[in-house]
Amino acid sequence: MEVLECRLAIDDLDAFVADLGKIGDRHEVTIQAVDARYVADRPHLERAVELADRAIEHGENVARDRAVEILLYAAGRRQIDRALEMGVGEGENRAAILIDGGASGGDEATAIEDLEELGAFLERTSTLADSDAETLCEFFEITDAERGATDASLSALVRERVALLEVEK
């Protein structure tokens, strides 16, 4: 799995998503672009991929598309429309684009090169280094009481939300 941290300027979201799908198909990878504000760190995305793949393997997936299933886990939500809140939108975005070859071992590096050629791509920039605790707590419904009751990091609590999706099915 690779993560392209970047800034995007998306004029047409549907066209952008279609472009991601074409690049993914061409290089046999799954691509999912998310709003970096809602990503705790790289292990958060790695855990989402792991759990989505396990759900697909066991025939327990909600979505037919692997990229959408990964988004469901990353967002910690079973409803696709609610998980889409974590996705990028039209306008300027600080994004984390996940590129994963999965079992097929697709060409992640060349897919990244193609992503950087898209009109919506502005620049590579660190988007995951400085996560906003308040935004993450609000999105993942992590309370002050919950944070006070543990010495676990916020990242660990977010990954717990991702893992809880397995239990809640």
Choice between 104 and 133, residue whose per-residue pLDDT is larger:
133
Please write the tens of the pLDDT for every residue from 29-45.
999 999 999 999 999 99
pLDDT score, position 130: 86
Listed in sequence order, the residues at least 6 apart from 125 whose beta carbon sits closer than 8 Å to its beta carbon are 5, 6, 7, 94
pLDDT level of residue 82 (50, 70, 90 thresholds): confident
Q: How far apart are CA 37 and CA 75, in angstroms?
A: 12
Determine contact, residues 100/109, Cβ cutoff 8 Å: no
Determine contact, residues 158/131, Cβ cutoff 8 Å: no
Which domains, ranges and CATH numbers included, belong to the chain? 2-168 (3.30.2380.10)
Neighbouring CB atoms inside 10 A of 70's CB total: 29
Q: What is the mean pLDDT of residues 69-89?
A: 93
**Listed range (36-40, 80-84, 101-105) with the worst mean pLDDT:** 101-105
